[in-house]
Structures are given as C-alpha cells and as structure tokens.
Amino acid sequence: MTDTTFTQATARGWLRSQSRWSPFEIIFWLALLLPFFLFPTYLPLASQIAIAALFALSVDLILGYAGIITLGHAMFFGLGAYCAALLGKAGWGEPISGLLLSGLFAGIIGFIASFIIVRVQHLALLMITLGLGLLTQELANALTWLTGGTDGLRIPRTWPIFNYFRFDLWGYTGYGYTLAVLFICFLLSRRIVNSSFGLALRGVRENIKRMPAIGSAYQSHQQKIYAISAAMAGMAGALLAQTTSTVTLEVLSFNRSADVVVMLILGGTGRLYGAIVGAIIFLIARDQLAGVNPQYWYFWIGLLLMVVVLFMPKGILGFVSRLAGRRD
C-alpha cells in the first residue's frame, strides 16, 4: 500500500495532476457548442443559461472556495447590468469594453463592500449580504431618473462584436458571445482555484481558525476573491443587458440572489462545474415546468432543495462522482 519510492518529484507530480485537464472537461465544453446545431430555436435560452452559469460561477468562488455565504449577490449582477445599460443609453454600444467596464465597476463596489463582509460571520454575514442586496435594489428603485425605476431601461441594440458579428434575432451571436465570456471566466477561475491563492482560500473554507496560526492574514484573501467574484457577477449582469437590450429592477432582486445559490447547491459547490451544471438543470427545468404552471415552479424547486440538502450534500455533481467512485 505504501509507495516506497515516494519522493519530491512524486509530490510535485501529484500536485500538477490535480490541475490537469481531464477528457471529460473537454467533452463537456464541446457539448456546450451543440445548441448551435441541434437546438437553434433554444439559443436565447442557452444564452440565459450561460449568463446564469457565469453568475453561479462567481458565487462558487466565494461560497464554494472561500466559505463566504451570500444571500445578496444579485447586487453585483444588477450593478453590472445597469452599468452596461447606462453605457448603451449614453451611446456607447461597443460590447467588450462595455462588459469590462461593467465588471470593473461591480468589482470596485465589491472591494468596498468586502471591508464589511470579512468582519462578520454566521447570521450577521447572511443578514449583511441580504441587507446590502435589498438596499441596492431600493436605491435603484428610488433613483428613477437614472434607472427608470419600476419601468426599467430599454437600450439601443449593442454594436456588433469586433465590428463584425451582429446581434441577430435568433441569438447565434448572443450565445456565441455569452459562451465565450463564460469560457474565458471559467479559465480564469480555474487558474485562480489551482493557484497558491486558491489553496489559501480552501484553507479558509476548511478551517478559518487555523489560518492565523500558520501566519495567514486571511482577510485579505477573502477581500480579494470577493472583489473578483463581484466583478464576474457584474460581467454576467452586463451580458444580460447587452443581449436582451433591457434591464429591470428584477436584476437586483432577492429572488435572483436566492436562485443563483440554489443553482450552485444543485450542481455542487467548490468544483466550478457545479455552477454550470446547476444553471443548466435549473433553467431548463424552469423553462419546462413554468410552461405548465408558473405558480408551482417554486413548489418543485423547494422540494428539490430539501432533497438535495438531505440526501446530496455535495450537489448533483458530487452525487454523480460518488456513484462513479471517483475521489472528490
């Protein structure tokens, strides 16, 4: 059982293997291209899924990796969406710069908020994230001259990407664009969680009390990832604004904050792919079930939540990988 030839080189090799791409991952990403060919009528839904997946990915970075619970992350999603929308209204419809600016804006607000977030834990943390989310929504509601209040904002069509790919009615460009942004952000997240910084975040999640005793000023780690996560959530919001040409107060709502956590829990936290799988299942199920009767959608999602918490604490992906007998 004991490997007698275990050496430094083995140790290095093992750590490297932890971050290596598996064939499953490559197949997974290729499969995400299928809607272009198989379900072209569902491309707008596919864009919604990619946007939700990016949002869930941003939450996974703080919740799944750094152990920061949030019930108000729609705050950053909404800030990004309004930022992109206001840029569009002001006459700047270039998508990529708009996306980056929106992400930057949400990231800066996230960094400021992080000074509050890292100071509190438990119920106070839940309440502060919830409170920040709600007060942002109230503020947006009150600033009607800027946000359009309950009417929301309509924005002129976003300019073509690279001045070439027009946003078409069928959503080819929309899905291509959102999927590309999702993929790039995923690569970035993957890099982050496989870095020494990512290791430190896992340390925070595993045992926050031990971190100071190994010399870690872990609050700065938490602040950094919180800002990165906020920026990513902001970009998800910007994508929504750019592809749908509308923004309403709903982007800041508590429901959106709760839904994204539900998606993440469904898929499984702390494994990046959980965010994407959760978003796919959640939105497809909603699309199918809501057609029957929107009132009862929440019945099923509530039941699903209870079942997942009781029987699949590591989410659907965790459940599947346990069935497949793979190491978590």
Partner 1 sequence: MAETKPIVLQTEALTKNFGALQVTRSVSLKLPHGCRHALIGPNGAGKTTLINLITGQLKPDSGRIILDGNDITDAPVAARVRKGLTRTFQINTLFPDLTPLEAVTLAVCERQKVTGQFWRGLSAQQEAIDEAYDILEKLKLGDVATRTTRTLAYGRQRLLEIALALATRPKVLLLDEPAAGVPKDESQMLFSVISSLPEDMSILFIEHDMDIVFRFASRIVVLVAGGLLVEDTPDAVRSDERVREVYLGQAHHG
Partner 2 sequence: MSSLIIILFDGFAFGMLLFVLSVGLSVTLGLMNFINLAHGAFGMLGGYVAVTVMRQLGFPFLLALPTAFLAAAIVSVIFERLLFRRLYGATELNQVLFTIGVVFVASAVATYFFGTVQQVLILPEWLRGSVELFGMRFGVYRIFLIVISLIVTGVLVFGLERTRLGAQIRAAVDNQRAAKGLGLDVEKIFGITFALGSGLAGLGGALAVEIVGLDPSFGFHFLVYVLIVVSVGGLGSITGSFVGAALLGIGDVAGKYFWPEIGSFLIYMLMVAILFVRPLGLFGKR
Binding-residue total with partner 2 (CB under 8 A): 40
Among 301, 316, 317, 318, binds partner 2 (CB under 8 A): 301
Grouping H, G, I as helix, E, B as strand and the rest as coil, residue 246 is strand
How far out from the chain centre does Cα 200 lie? 20
| Closest residue by Cα to residue 52 from 262, 231, 245, 225 | 262
Torsion 65-66-71-73 (CA) sign:
negative
Q: Write down the least CB distance from residue 269 to partner 1, Å.
A: 12
- 198 sits near partner 1 (criterion: CB under 8 A): yes
> Which region, judged by CB under 8 A, interacts with partner 2, from 95-103, 137-145, 160-168, 207-215?
137-145
Torsion of CA 269, 275, 281, 285, to 10 degrees: 100
163 binds, among partner 2, partner 1, none (CB under 5 to 8 A by kind): none
Among 36, 197, 254, 297, binds partner 1 (CB under 8 A): 197
Helices 273-292 and 254-267, packing angle to 10 deg: 120
**Vertex 77, ends 71 and 83: CA angle to 5°?**
145
Report whether 134 contacts 254 (CB < 8 A).
yes
- 138 sits near partner 2 (criterion: CB under 8 A): yes
Among 12, 16, 119, 326, binds partner 2 (CB under 8 A): 119
Among 221, 256, 271, 286, binds partner 1 (CB under 8 A): 221
Q: Rounded CA gap, 276 and 283, in Å?
A: 11
> Which region, judged by CB under 8 A, interacts with partner 2, from 125-133, 170-178, 228-236, 318-326?
125-133
At CB < 8 A and 24+ separation, what contacts does 215-224 make? 219/118, 221/66, 221/197, 222/62, 222/66, 222/68, 222/114, 222/117, 222/118, 223/111, 223/114, 223/115, 223/117, 223/118, 224/197
62 binds, among partner 1, partner 2, none (CB under 5 to 8 A by kind): none
220 binds, among partner 1, partner 2, none (CB under 5 to 8 A by kind): partner 1
User: Please, which of residues 233-262 interact with partner 2 by CB under 8 A?
Assistant: 254, 258, 261-262
Among 11, 303, 322, 326, binds partner 2 (CB under 8 A): 303
Report whether 308 contacts 266 (CB < 8 A).
yes
Binding site for partner 2 (CB under 8 A): 63, 69, 71, 116, 119-124, 126-128, 130-132, 134-135, 138-139, 142, 254, 258, 261-262, 265, 295-296, 298-299, 301-306, 308-310, 313
Binding site for partner 1 (CB under 8 A): 2-4, 6-8, 10-12, 14-16, 18-19, 191-192, 194-200, 202-203, 206-207, 209-218, 220-221, 224-225, 228
